[in-house]
Structure 1
């Protein structure tokens, strides 16, 4: 598993005039090399954490680059894909993600994706992020 906290401020698109997008996209080759190495070794792997990006959005430029299926096993899956985020009322898309390679995807317990929402009014949340999780069958 690789924990990430990618550059904030470029949650969608790739505006070269936005000072945050070039920084985020400069992180992409490092992440892709790690993913490709794990897939090439045949490992079950996951990349999880604060992506600071709406990678589940259709055609996201950042995610499209890393989800190229090359090498074999590097075909990626976003846990909870298709679910709306519920942590903050004004944000309906996740920026915290669990992304799994093909082997790890086969080990995810179906329906196990969860978003922990603290059980408190939004103004009392201890963070502006809510943790996400899945259960792996081992």
Structure 2
């Protein structure tokens, strides 16, 4: 068993991957299998959240496609996979309020949703296409 298979199983059991698949379907995205048990949902059409990509469970959801996404930021999928591990570590849905608190803290501290967001920092700001603001 590979370590990522533990994450994959955990995110299925905690319901976060199922939630991600439902959000992707609701947004009209086309599903593909990605690396290490991830799904990539391409062509997401809903206007929220405003992001080049976001991850729910083991599902990376993007309004573009994987080649465009990784063309802009080569390590974007590794950044998003780190978020999948965060969903696993927080046992699914508790990730959402924790992430929102971290984003709020970052906005208050830096005026940017990512620069002081613990989850984005741990996933690698540069890998996710973010710049650090003080």
TM-score (norm 2): 0.27
Q: Which structure would you say has the larger Rg?
A: 1
